[in-house]
Structure 1
């Protein structure tokens, strides 16, 4: 590093025709430097920082033009180190599934944002140690194998400085990595957007800590496929089809401790109460109001999504969390029709509850795994549906029972506000997600349009 105390600054003058029209320009010895800003206030602030360093007698690096102290700060923190500090910040308050998806996104970015040093490991090896060891705060102190130690050591030495992401070319390279799978094929648009959102939040945190001047993703545009967040109407089963499916479930696994029959009420909760599968898994006896006749109610209060032992606080496969998009202890009361009241009463009489009061459980008393109830559902579709329907998306997942319920309510004329309350959505999200499934008015509209032509 060659330094100098000979620093000269120019006045800020707007340059027309530029996206960032306000330049901060200065000389170190005889080398000219410039930084460009979209707002004059940002440029003035930056110029003030530089002139303050010069007045304080701080030497400037001639090549980069930066005060030595700032240059050292920029070079001292690698992307890996900052990603670890970001995970430390987010870990305790994040749901287990959020922890997993955040680590996955940062591992993809960190594995690509490295120097081309000698002995560079394969990307799959870099991502592996990042996910298993380096990024989760709970695994960094664990013993690792010799091969992993070599990869970790290389990554720590070759992770590029965080500040390098202020360069547009570098940012685009990382975004390209987020948009690709390990085999080089394009990742799903939803996967890319989720990973990009994680990177955006990490860089916003870097701006907050004054490690970079702005979030570079705000000025980088990258064309991606549109994410479809509406329910495909082809997955929505009608009431007769759902009835056949729920009946077929009871015939699954007759020789395997009646696994299908035990889960019949679980699937019924998904349909008649529009509960998410993870909400059904958390249902307890004291959450159920089951009168001898008439309507009952479920007080949905807990969700048990599968996340993996690495990501949960208690080392369990299923996380313990509140309802989606709600405060931790908030409860959603869902009135349930007499048919579901009878199904749940029969279930309790036949199977009872687990030690913690949960209605649905594995043979050893744990939470039913998603692989188990998916297998039961797949078998039930084979029993209940014709071959062309089995090959179609119709009710392809247990979650589609919820879609069938919400679509039925909306098309039946139930006010959107009431449907949203029971399903745990906002009205805006409800109407957006189920826009293609609301067809109850199509015949009326068609008749009206036809009349416009024939009445003339």
Structure 2
């Protein structure tokens, strides 16, 4: 090892052209310039302080890496790198996780793995690092894409540069991980929900590391205040019954056949409060549709959409059990005569698939989320004023479900029954829809006035 005591510490440079890793600590060892990039000035200053302490202690510095020998020794503990343990984490959850959960896990790691690396020469671009992780390194081996020749050096660099998992016990490294999940891939502040989901991924990974005895304790238990998440539904998104009917009436006119085939599916989201993936999985055998009166839907499956790399079937849609329910659990939802009539008309016109599925394209396949979202946006423009189109009102098909649940609560249906039909817990239901429950202010004011007059 080539070492030197000729060490000169420089200043911290701020690169305004960089959106991330914008603070650069500079120093020289044996007259060779060295640098290391950080997300914040405080991290860069802390690093230079460590180097300064090493020079005061009379330590030799490695000319190749620019680090004092004590830091080099600390950089090579026994145990896996963060990348290696991230692969273990993904593999441990793959079999029991839904496709969207797998995607969420990897999405969180796309921010974390590139941030937890050593400052080795010839760092690839962040987009190339994410591409290698997304399509290769963070997938089970039997699902990995063959890397193009241009990306093989990216994989090699990442495997070499990934920090030891044990480094997460250092508060400075943990802070850099939290900084990484707090910004988007373009360097902007991430939404609170995004930060929360990515932090959950990091937390679960570190809990697994503690279980595997790779870490003595979860370092995220230290105090850190995440951004506040708005858990309640925005009442501005909720349509009233007249607006909902106008939207549903506009759908059949969209496209040559697509709107007509989707009309009943959207109606299920509004009149039965189905999630889009539940409506997509609905089959004829799930529907009791009498000629008169109320009918009944027995919801037993969901058919969420995800990229093929995440699904068990290798298709874009997987058949899954219901959200927040046991594997074979079902949910019964009484449906009003208006929805019964819509479903009967849909079946009469379009029939059902061989396996009983109600909603499918003219070619027999499931509708993609982009397809039904496109129909929805055209229906909004046809049914709403320009001002309403520009507002959050029913901005997504999912908002039909919110409108249904809000309508039931405001109609006085007990929260326990609403929760049963919607597939929520009562506590979650009241928390999520608290701002959408109307008509209680006047009675409440009256009760307070009566109490004040006593």
Aligning the two structures, in what range does the TM-score lie when normalised by the shorter sequence?
Answer: 0.7 to 0.9
User: Cα distance, 1:262 vs. partner?
Assistant: 1.3
Tell me the residue number matched to 1:233: 235
Measured in 2, the distance between the counterparts of 1:406 and 1:243 equals 16
Instruction: Report if aligned partners of 2:303, 2:319 keep a CA contact under 8 Å in 1.
Output: yes
Tell me the residue number matched to 1:58: none
Tell me the residue number matched to 1:161: 164
Partner SS state of residue 299, structure 1:
strand
Instruction: Report if aligned partners of 1:236, 1:395 keep a CA contact under 8 Å in 2.
Output: yes
Tell me the residue number matched to 1:405: 404
TM-score, normalised with respect to structure 1 = 0.81
Deviates more, 1:73-82 or 1:233-242: 73-82
Instruction: Report if aligned partners of 2:306, 2:317 keep a CA contact under 8 Å in 1.
Output: yes
User: Cα distance, 1:390 vs. partner?
Assistant: 1.5
Tell me the residue number matched to 1:48: none
- Give 2:129's match in structure 1, choosing from 126, 131, 137: 126
Measured in 1, the distance between the counterparts of 2:188 and 2:384 equals 35
Instruction: Report if aligned partners of 2:79, 2:214 keep a CA contact under 8 Å in 1.
Output: no
Change (3 A) 1:140 1:117: farther
Mapping of residues 98-247 of structure 1, within 5 Å: 98-138=101-141, 142-221=145-224, 223-247=225-249
Tell me the residue number matched to 1:415: 414
Change (3 A) 1:243 1:140: closer
Instruction: Report if aligned partners of 2:304, 2:318 keep a CA contact under 8 Å in 1.
Output: yes
RMSD: 2.1
User: Cα distance, 1:314 vs. partner?
Assistant: 1.1
Deviates more, 1:438-447 or 1:322-331: 438-447
Partner SS state of residue 75, structure 1:
coil
Instruction: Report if aligned partners of 2:87, 2:138 keep a CA contact under 8 Å in 1.
Output: yes
Measured in 2, the distance between the counterparts of 1:140 and 1:311 equals 9
Instruction: Report if aligned partners of 2:112, 2:180 keep a CA contact under 8 Å in 1.
Output: yes
User: Cα distance, 1:328 vs. partner?
Assistant: 1.5
Measured in 2, the distance between the counterparts of 1:143 and 1:386 equals 50
User: Cα distance, 1:220 vs. partner?
Assistant: 4.1
Measured in 2, the distance between the counterparts of 1:415 and 1:451 equals 26
Mapping of residues 321-332 of structure 1, within 5 Å: 321-332=320-331
Instruction: Report if aligned partners of 1:172, 1:220 keep a CA contact under 8 Å in 2.
Output: no
Change (3 A) 1:450 1:392: farther
1:434 aligns with 2:433: yes
Deviates more, 1:73-82 or 1:280-289: 73-82
Q: Which runs of 5+ in 2 are unaligned?
A: 2-68
Instruction: Report if aligned partners of 1:74, 1:162 keep a CA contact under 8 Å in 2.
Output: no
User: Cα distance, 1:155 vs. partner?
Assistant: 0.7
Tell me the residue number matched to 2:388: 389
Tell me the residue number matched to 2:309: 310
Partner SS state of residue 152, structure 2:
helix
Count of equivalent residues: 386
Per-residue displacement from partner, 1:227-254 (whole Å, max 9, x unpaired)?
101111111111111111111112111x
Partner SS state of residue 332, structure 2:
strand
User: Cα distance, 1:136 vs. partner?
Assistant: 1.0
User: Cα distance, 1:447 vs. partner?
Assistant: 4.1
Q: Which runs of 5+ in 1 are unaligned?
A: 2-62
